[in-house]
Chain A
Amino acid sequence: MKRSLIALLVLLIAAAICGCTQNKVQNKGVSTGKTVVIIGDGATFPQPQINAWISAYMKLHPNVKIEYNGGGSGKGQADFAAGIVDFAGSDPPLKKSLWERLVNHPPAEGKNPLQFPDIIGAVVVCYNVPGVNSLKLDGQTLANIFMGKIKYWDNESIKALNPGVKLPHKEIVVIHRSDASGTTDIFTTYLSLVSPEWNSTVGAGKVVNWPVDRMGRGVGGKGNQGVVAELKSTPYSICYTELSYALKENLKMVALKNRAGNYVMANSTTIKAAAQHISSYIAPPYAGYKENLRQLLNAPGNDSYPIVAFSHLLIWKNYSDPVKGKAVHNFIKWILTQGQNDKYIVSGYVGLPKSITQRVLSEAGI
Chain B
Amino acid sequence: MDGEAGHIDTFKYFLLPFCLFVFGLFALMLAVYFSASIPIFKHEGLKIYTTNAWIASENPNKEFYGVLAAIYGSVYTSVLAVLIALPLSISFAVFVIDYAPSKIKEPLIVATDIMAGLPTIIYGIWGAFVLVPLLKKYVMIPLYEHLSFIPLFSFKPVTGYSYLSAGVLLGIMVTPFASAIIREAYRALPFMYREAIYSLGATRYEATKLLVKQIKPAIVAGLLLAFGRAIGETVAVSLVIGNTFNINPSLFAPGYTISSLIANQFGNAFIYKYMVPALFAAGLSLFFIGLAVNVLGILILRRYGYGR
What is A's interface to B at a CB cutoff of 8 Å?
A: 2-3, 6, 71-75, 77-78, 95, 171, 173, 178-181, 205-207, 209-210, 213-214, 216-222, 226, 229-230, 232-234, 237
Q: Which of A75, A205, A209, A219 contacts B270 (CB 8 A)?
A: A75
How would residues 1 to 35 of chain B score, 1 for a CB under 8 Å from any chain A CB and 0 otherwise? 10100100011001000000000000000000000
In the complex, besides A205-B58, A226-B239, A234-B159, 16 extra interface pairs with C-beta distance below 8 angstroms are A2-B10, A71-B267, A178-B238, A178-B243, A178-B264, A179-B265, A180-B268, A206-B56, A206-B268, A218-B254, A219-B242, A220-B242, A221-B243, A222-B238, A230-B159, A233-B133
Name the one of A72, A209, A234, A237 contacting B54, with C-beta atoms under 8 angstroms.
A209
- Specify which chain A residues have a CB less than 8 angstroms from the CB of B11 in the assembled complex: 2
Distance between B60 CB and nearest chain A CB, rounded to angstroms = 10
Interface presence of B275 (CB below 8 A) = yes
A3-B3, A219-B243 known; A73-B238 Cβ under 8 A: no
Name A229's contact: one of B3, B125, B159, B272 (CB within 8 Å): B125
Q: Please determine whether B263 and A219 come into contact, CB atoms closer than 8 angstroms.
A: no
- Which chain A positions have C-beta within 8 A of B159? 173, 216-217, 219, 230, 234, 237
Whether B186 sits at the interface, judged by CB under 8 Å, is no
Q: Is the CB of A6 within 8 A of B243?
A: no
| CB < 8 Å neighbour of A180 from B161, B253, B260, B267 | B267
Cα distance, A232 to B128, chains bound together (Å): 10
Instruction: State whether B158 touches A72 (Cβ < 8 A).
Output: no
User: Please, how many angstroms separate the alpha-carbon atoms of A226 and B260 in the complex?
Assistant: 12
Complex Cα distance A72/B266, Å?
9
Is the Cβ of B56 less than 8 Å from the Cβ of A205? yes
Q: Does B202 make an interface contact (CB < 8 A)?
A: no
| Nearest CB of chain A from residue B3's CB, rounded to whole Å | 6
B153 lies within 8 A of chain A by Cβ: no
Alpha-carbon separation in the docked complex, A226 to B264 (Å): 10
Complex contact A6–B3 (CB within 8 A): yes
Per-residue interface assignment for chain B, residues 247 to 279, with 1 indicating a CB less than 8 Å from any chain A CB and 0 otherwise: 000000110000010011101111110010000
Most buried by A among B3, B14, B55, B265: B265
Complex Cα spacing A219 to B56, Å: 18
* Interchain residue pairs with CB less than 8 A apart (16): A73-B268, A78-B270, A95-B58, A178-B243, A179-B267, A180-B271, A209-B54, A214-B246, A216-B159, A216-B253, A219-B244, A221-B239, A229-B129, A230-B128, A230-B159, A234-B159
* Residue in chain A with minimal CB distance to B245: A213
Select which of B158, B243, B270 is within 8 A of A222 by beta carbon: B243
Contact A72 B267, beta carbon cutoff 8 Å? yes
Q: How far, in whole Å, are A115 and B251 apart by their CA atoms in the complex?
A: 48
Tell me which of B238, B268, B271 has the highest count of chain A C-beta atoms within 10 A of its own C-beta: B268
Q: Give min CB distance, A19 to chain B, whole Å.
A: 19
Cross-chain contact B132 with A233 (CB below 8 angstroms): yes
Contacts A206-B56, A233-B132, A234-B159; is A75 near B243 (CB within 8 Å)? no
Most chain B CB within a 10 A radius of its CB, from A171, A178, A230: A178
Q: Distance (Å) between the CB of B131 and the closest chain A CB?
A: 10
Q: Is B51 an interface residue (CB 8 A)?
A: no
Q: How far is the CA of A234 from the CA of B160 in the complex (A)?
A: 8
| Interface flag for B156 (CB, 8 Å) | yes
Which residue in chain B gives the minimum CB-CB distance to A229?
B128
- List the B residue with the shortest CB-CB distance to A10: B1
Does B155 count as interface, using CB distance less than 8 angstroms?
yes
Most chain B CB inside 10 Å of its own CB: which residue of A2, A171, A220, A234: A220
Inter-subunit contact B264/A222 (CB<8 Å): yes
How long is the Cα–Cα vector from A267 to B128 in the complex, in angstroms? Answer: 30
- Provide the residues of chain B in CB contact with A181, threshold 8 Å: 268
Q: Chain B 80-115 against A: per-residue CB contact (8 Å), 1 yes, 0 no?
A: 000000000000000000000000000000000000
Chain A interface, >50% SS class: mixed
Task: Tell me which residues across on chain A come within 8 A of B265, comparing CB atoms.
Answer: 179-180, 207
Contacts of B254 on A, CB cut-off 8 Å? 213, 216, 218-219
Q: Is B50 an interface residue (CB 8 A)?
A: no
Q: How far is the CA of A77 from the CA of B58 in the complex (A)?
A: 14
A39 to chain B, nearest CB (A): 17
Complexed CA–CA distance, A220 and B243 (Å): 5
Q: Are B244 and A72 in contact (CB under 8 A)?
A: no
The residue in chain A whose Cβ has the minimal distance to the Cβ of B54 is: A207
A210 to B56, CA, bound (A): 13
Is B57 on the interface with A (CB-CB < 8 A)?
yes
CB-CB under 8 A from B10, the residues of chain A are: 2
Q: Which residues of the other chain, B, contact A173 by a CB distance below 8 angstroms?
A: 158-159
Q: Are A213 and B246 in contact (CB under 8 A)?
A: yes
Name which residue of chain B comes closest to A210, CB basis.
Answer: B244
Q: List residues 138-155 of chain B with CB under 8 A from any CB of chain A.
A: 155
> Which A residues are CB-close (under 8 A) to B271?
73-74, 77, 95, 180, 206
How many Å lie between the Cα of A77 and that of B270 in the bound state? 8
Tell whether, in the assembled complex, residue A205 and residue B242 are in contact, meaning their CB atoms are under 8 Å apart. Answer: no
CB distance from A333 to the nearest CB of B (A): 29
Contact of B264 with A216 in the complex, beta carbons under 8 Å: no
Q: Which of B1, B54, B253, B268 contacts A75 (CB 8 A)?
A: B268
Assembly CA distance A237 to B132 (angstroms):
15
Tell me how far the C-beta of A175 lies from the nearest C-beta in chain B, rounded to whole angstroms. Answer: 8
Closest residue to B56 on the A side, CB-wise? A207
Bound Cα distance A74, B6 (Å): 57
Closest Cβ–Cβ distance, residue A221 to chain B (whole Å):
7
Query: Would you call A6 and B239 a contact (CB within 8 A)?
Result: no
Complex contacts, B53 vs chain A, CB 8 Å: 209
- Residues of chain B lying within 8 A (CB to CB) of residue A206: 56, 268, 271
Closest 3 CB pairs of A and B: A72-B267, A220-B243, A178-B243
Complex formed: what's the CA distance from A147 to B238 in Å?
Answer: 23
- Contact A216 B56, beta carbon cutoff 8 Å: no
B residues less than 8 Å from A6 (CB atoms): 1, 3, 14
- Which chain A residues border B125 with CB–CB below 8 Å? 229
A180 and B244 contact, Cβ closer than 8 Å, known pairs A216-B254, A222-B239: no
| Min distance, Cβ A215 to any Cβ of chain B, angstroms | 9
Q: A217-B158, A217-B159, A226-B238 in contact; A72/B268 too (CB < 8 A)? A: yes
